[in-house]
């Protein structure tokens, strides 16, 4: 645990051991050999691997690969995704192929030696139904268009009758054809020691490799045995370990032969397209990927897709292969070529990243669900006390404040290096309790009760983003590289919280220090601009929906602070400024290099090449995502509960609300602007309900505190405070 803590702190300090990045493109194209070992992890490689596999671990560039696809979490979908360079799906029979001799005589576009997908029409149809431009077999077509040939050898047969060749989804072109291959049962041998009764004949596999090596520029080798073992049922742990030892021993000799045969300019990619069933259940869904050539130094992999050391996506592999051969990417390819960074201990680095990632993936839903339940319980208690026990309201202050503090505590927790559930919960509760009760006690009757924690939250989030998201990328409330919705920038959870916290803390300061009001207004304008730029700048990972919401919320807050009212003319002018600014951002980021683009730039490039239909697909996909989240996400309950509590509070005797807003006019402006930002966050984000729920927390809780203190004072004159002092 101390070692893990050290690694987390090292990540926060921007990865001391990580060296300069290089893009690996051979000066003169050699060959790309992709060797597939399915359903294994780095622990298997370290435990069972022989000297040749260990050589690759010690001299290659290592990474962890996101294995998502355009459909459900299935193995074949990941293969189709690699071949398309975009999140694709496989049809039910898309893993099966035929050789030339098995085809009907006179089949068009097929030559002797070709390997042909048996289910191409269904494959194409399945991918046309996705809400994104996907071209199954695109990698093969790009290579063929410039005269490069493809080959696939090996299979994953679990019987001797049919040819299961998922790797064919990587090598085939858009007509379903791979130029060369050998995938039949002649590559198998009877093996009583293997749970399936047969295994790959690596002598025959190497013979096939030698036969096709000089013909193919890009070859995929499917080892097959680890996949077969993963499919076997009723295998004891001892039998599985023994089988793995034998499989890795046989594979190791083959790997050594392939490495020895590589030309100076050739590239070997060792890829695990999908985790084992045990790893998938345990949440270990990032799989090993290794790159080796004479020109690549020991280190780690990353890409412009993730902008995160050690992590790539399966869509990056097609982009890397296209880059290797000097091919221009198709607009539908969303991946980027690999970036190689030197590192002294890549395997240890990746193991630590994986441990943190798996913890967040496994326990994030439970922890977030518990936090959501806690929010709802506290809000429910507020409603009960308002209606039946107003004298008890003062006891709820620290619990209300804790709701505002938890997102900040979540962001700080990686510094403590606690990545076991019990320790995580203990530190979270302890730190939140100490801070909330301390702030509640020290800031009684003072706007500092929420101004100080919200200002600290703004400073922490902004500082973390500027320094590279070292905390956010490993926070339980940050983004998850296994889910893969976002890898860099600011996620919607913290975007919403940052937006609400910035508006309320700024207007509270203007309210509190009336003697410096003019200067604080201008200071607020500067803070708003800084936060807006952080959300908008492509270099920091543009959050488009967050930028729109922030522009709306900040603009309304500034107009109200400086002019005390907002007119239709103001709203029209602000709308025009927003449209012009977003258009400029859309064009600017789209003109930058693919490696430098953020999400908005990638969308711009796709629209320029694919037309308006691509944009419509994007909007449809985001609307469907928002609909699903509104329907199923726990954050929907938070948003509804907060709105209901605010509605109930506004139904209190009118004089209480008037008194609060009369005494705290600038906070009233902040409340109005914050609600506008919340609505904008809900509308303009693909996970809008998440952003809106976290945005309304720092907006609603201060107002609830103001109301409860006013009610508490009215019902109990001996209470510790009457209302918040300005």
**Three-state secondary-structure class, residue 16:** coil
Structural contact between residues 270 and 292, judged by C-beta atoms closer than 8 angstroms: yes
Taking alpha carbons only, the member of 551, 542, 618, 549 closest to residue 585 is 542
Domains contained in the chain, number = 2
pLDDT at 441: 76
pLDDT band at 164 (very low <50, low <70, confident <90, very high): confident
Band of the pLDDT at 593, cuts 50, 70, 90?
Answer: low
Instruction: With cut-offs at 50, 70 and 90, classify the pLDDT of residue 152.
Output: very high
pLDDT band at 9 (very low <50, low <70, confident <90, very high): very low
Residue 26 has pLDDT above 70, yes or no: no
Same domain (yes/no): 327, 412: no
Last residue of a domain, one of 290, 314, 344: 344
Measured at the CA of 587, the angle between CA 582 and CA 589, to 5 degrees, comes to 95
- In this model, does residue 574 exceed pLDDT 50? yes
Task: Give residue 102's pLDDT.
Answer: 53
The predicted pLDDT at position 409 comes to 97
The alpha carbon dihedral of 156, 159, 160, 164 has a sign of negative
pLDDT top residue among 539 and 406? 406
For residues 38 and 98, membership in a common domain is answered with: yes
Q: Which carries the bigger pLDDT value, residue 545 or residue 52?
A: 52
If you ran DSSP here, which 8-state letter would residue 189 be given? E
Residue 661 lies in a domain: yes
Q: Where are the beta strands (DSSP E) in 534-688?
A: none
Q: Which helix (H) or strand (E) holds 62?
A: strand 61-66
Q: Does residue 290 share a domain with residue 231?
A: yes
Give per-residue pLDDT as tens, 654-688: 567 778 888 889 999 999 999 999 999 998 887 88
Q: Token pair for residue 477? A: 């409330």
pLDDT for 663: 85
Question: Which pLDDT belongs to residue 532?
Answer: 94
Report yes or no on 594 lying in a domain.
no
Cα-Cα end-to-end distance for the chain? 46
Token match 């508006």: residue? 503
State whether 327 and 381 are in the same domain.
no
Question: Are 287 and 223 in the same domain?
Answer: yes
Q: Give the distance, in angstroms, between the CA of residue 211 and the centroid of all CA atoms in the same chain.
A: 42
* Same domain for 409 and 301: no
Output phi, psi for 178, to 5 deg.
-105, 135
Residue 463, pLDDT above cutoff 90: yes
Weakest mean pLDDT among 230-239, 358-367, 409-418, 587-596: 587-596
Considering the domain architecture, whether residues 154 and 249 belong to the same structural domain is answered as yes
- Is pLDDT above 50 for 724? no
Q: Residue 308 corresponds to which tokens in the numbers above? A: 């995160």
Rounded Cα–Cα distance for residues 503 and 703 (Å): 13
Strands 338-342 and 299-303 turn out to be antiparallel
Among the residue ranges 162-166, 329-333, 449-453, 552-556, the one predicted with the least confidence is 162-166
Task: For residue 11, tell me if it sits in a domain.
Answer: no
Residue bearing the bigger pLDDT, 207 or 579? 207
Among 288, 310, 344, identify where a domain stops.
344
What tokens appear for 265 in the block? 């300019």
Structural domain that includes position 554: 363-566+623-715
d(CA 114, CA 104): 13
Which tokens sit at 400? 């209300």
Average pLDDT over residues 229-249: 89
Q: Do 398 and 321 fall within a single domain? A: no
Please, which residues bridge with residue 33 across strands? 219, 268
* In-domain check, residue 175: yes
Q: Which residue has the higher pLDDT, 541 or 36?
A: 36
Say whether pLDDT at 508 is over 80. Answer: yes
Q: Give the Cα separation of 479 and 474 in Å (integer).
A: 8
The pLDDT tens digits of the residues spanning 181-191 come to: 999 989 998 88
380, 449: one domain: yes
Q: What pLDDT score does 722 carry?
A: 41
CA 331 to chain centre: 21
Please tell me whether residues 74 and 170 are part of one structural domain: yes
Kindly state whether residue 580 falls inside one of the protein's structural domains.
no
pLDDT of residue 605: 65
pLDDT of residue 37: 94
Q: What's the pLDDT tens digit per position in 56-101?
A: 999 999 999 999 999 999 999 999 999 999 999 999 999 988 765 5
Are 338 and 370 part of one and the same domain? no
Q: Regarding beta strands 177-178 and 115-117, do their DSSP bridges make them parallel or antiparallel, or are they unpaired?
A: antiparallel
- Let me know if residue 400 belongs to a domain: yes
Quote the pLDDT of residue 719: 42
Q: Which residues make beta-bridge pairs with 339?
A: 23, 302
Domain CATH for 225: 3.40.720.10
Query: To the nearest whole number, what is the mean pLDDT of the chain?
Result: 86
d(CA 536, CA 543): 6
Residues 152, 93, single domain; the answer is yes
- Look at residue 103 in the predicted model and tell me its pLDDT: 52
Quote the percentage of the chain above a pLDDT of 90: 59
Whether residue 391 has pLDDT greater than 60: yes
The domain boundary residue, chosen from 281, 309, 344: 344
Burial of 596 (0-12, 13-18, 19+ CB in 10 A): exposed
- SS3 state of residue 724: coil
* Whether the Cβ atoms of residue 79 and residue 166 lie closer than 8 Å to each other: yes
**130 φ/ψ sector (left φ>0, alpha ψ -120 to 50, else beta):** beta
Of the candidate ranges 392-406, 441-455, 553-567, the one whose mean pLDDT is the lowest: 441-455
φ/ψ region of 90 (left if φ > 0, alpha if ψ in -120 to 50, else beta) reads beta
Query: Is 274's pLDDT higher than 80?
Result: yes
DSSP, collapsed to helix, strand or coil, labels residue 188 as strand
Is residue 80 in a domain? yes
Which residues have C-beta within 8 Å of that of residue 144, sequence separation ≥ 6? 150, 173, 179
**Contact indicator for 593, 605 with CB cutoff of 8 Å:** no
- Can you tell me the mean pLDDT for 401-424? 94
Of 377 and 445, the structure prediction assigns the larger pLDDT to: 377
CA angle 10, 15, 20 (to 5 degrees): 165
C-alpha angle with apex 454: 448 to 460, nearest 5 degrees?
A: 130
CB-based contact 670:664 (threshold 8 Å)? no
- Per-residue pLDDT at 666: 92
pLDDT grade, residue 545 (50/70/90)? confident
Higher confidence at residue 649 or residue 232?
232
The answer as to whether 275 is a domain residue is: yes
Percent of the chain with pLDDT over 70: 87
Q: What is the pLDDT, as a whole number, of residue 367?
A: 95
């Amino acid at each position: 645990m101390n070692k893990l803590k050290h690694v987390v702190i090292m990540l926060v300090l921007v990865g001391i051991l990580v060296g300069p990045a290089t893009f690996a493109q051979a000066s003169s194209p050699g060959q790309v050999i992709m060797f597939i070992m399915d359903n294994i992890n780095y622990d298997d490689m370290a435990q069972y691997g022989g000297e040749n596999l260990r050589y690759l671990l010690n001299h290659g560039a290592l990474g962890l690969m996101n294995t998502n696809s355009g459909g459900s979490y299935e193995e074949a979908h990941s293969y189709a995704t690699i071949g398309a360079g975009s999140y694709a799906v496989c049809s039910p029979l898309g893993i099966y192929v035929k050789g030339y001799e098995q085809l009907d005589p006179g089949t068009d576009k097929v030559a002797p030696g070709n390997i042909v997908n048996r289910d191409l029409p269904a494959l194409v149809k399945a991918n046309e139904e996705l809400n994104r431009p996907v071209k199954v077999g695109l990698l093969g077509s790009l290579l063929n268009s410039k005269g490069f040939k493809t080959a696939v050898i090996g299979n994953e047969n679990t019987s001797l009758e049919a040819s299961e060749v998922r790797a064919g989804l990587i090598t085939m072109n858009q007509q379903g054809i791979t130029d060369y291959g050998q995938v039949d049962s002649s590559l198998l041998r009877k093996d009583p020691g293997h749970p399936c009764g047969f295994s790959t004949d690596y002598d025959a596999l190497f013979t096939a490799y030698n036969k096709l090596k000089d013909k193919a520029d890009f070859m995929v080798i499917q080892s097959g045995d680890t996949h077969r073992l993963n499919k076997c049922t009723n295998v004891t742990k001892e039998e599985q370990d023994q089988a793995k030892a034998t499989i890795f021993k046989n594979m190791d000799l083959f790997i050594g032969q392939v490495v020895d045969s590589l030309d100076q300019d050739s590239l070997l990619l060792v890829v695990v397209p999908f985790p084992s069933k045990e790893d998938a259940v345990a949440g270990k869904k990032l799989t090993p990927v290794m790159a080796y050539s004479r020109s690549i130094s020991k280190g780690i992999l990353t890409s412009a897709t993730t902008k995160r050391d050690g992590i790539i996506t399966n869509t990056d592999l097609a982009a890397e292969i296209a880059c290797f051969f000097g091919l221009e990417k198709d607009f539908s390819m969303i991946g980027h070529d690999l970036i190689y960074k030197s590192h002294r201990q890549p395997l240890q680095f990746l193991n630590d990243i994986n441990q943190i990632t798996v913890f967040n993936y496994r326990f994030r839903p439970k922890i977030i669900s518990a936090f959501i339940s806690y929010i709802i319980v506290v809000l429910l208690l507020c409603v009960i006390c308002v209606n039946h026990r107003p004298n008890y309201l003062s006891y709820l202050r620290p619990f209300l404040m804790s709701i505002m503090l938890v997102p900040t505590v979540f962001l700080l927790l990686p510094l403590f290096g606690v990545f076991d559930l019990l320790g995580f919960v203990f530190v979270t509760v302890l730190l939140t309790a100490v801070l909330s009760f301390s702030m509640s006690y020290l800031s009684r009757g003072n706007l500092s009760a929420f101004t100080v924690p919200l200002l600290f939250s703004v400073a922490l989030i902004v500082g973390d983003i500027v320094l590279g998201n070292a905390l956010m990328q490993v926070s339980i409330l940050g983004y998850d590289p296994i889910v893969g919705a976002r890898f860099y920038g600011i996620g919607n959870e913290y975007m919403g919280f940052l937006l609400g916290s910035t508006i309320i803390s700024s207007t509270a300061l203007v309210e509190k220090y009336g003697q410096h009001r003019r200067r604080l207004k201008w200071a607020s304008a500067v803070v708003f601009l800084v936060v807006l730029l952080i959300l908008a700048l492509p270099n920091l990972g543009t959050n488009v929906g967050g930028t729109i919401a922030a522009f709306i919320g900040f603009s309304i807050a500034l107009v109200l602070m400086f002019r005390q009212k907002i007119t239709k003319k103001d709203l029209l002018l602000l709308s025009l400024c927003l449209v012009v600014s977003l258009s400029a951002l859309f064009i600017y980021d789209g003109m930058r290099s693919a490696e430098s683009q953020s999400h908005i730039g990638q969308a711009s490039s796709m629209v320029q090449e694919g037309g308006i239909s691509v944009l419509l697909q994007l909007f449809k996909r985001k609307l469907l995502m928002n609909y699903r989240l509104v329907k199923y996400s726990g954050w929907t309950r938070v948003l509804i509960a907060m709105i209901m509590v605010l509605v109930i509070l506004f139904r209190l005797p009118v004089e209480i609300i008037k008194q609060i807003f009369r005494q705290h006019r600038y906070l009233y402006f902040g409340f109005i602007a914050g609600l506008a930002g919340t609505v904008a966050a809900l509308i303009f984000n693909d996970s809008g309900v998440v952003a809106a729920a976290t945005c309304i927390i720092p907006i609603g809780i201060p107002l609830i505190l103001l109301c409860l203190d006013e009610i508490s004072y009215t019902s109990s004159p001996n209470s510790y405070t009457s209302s918040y002092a300005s």
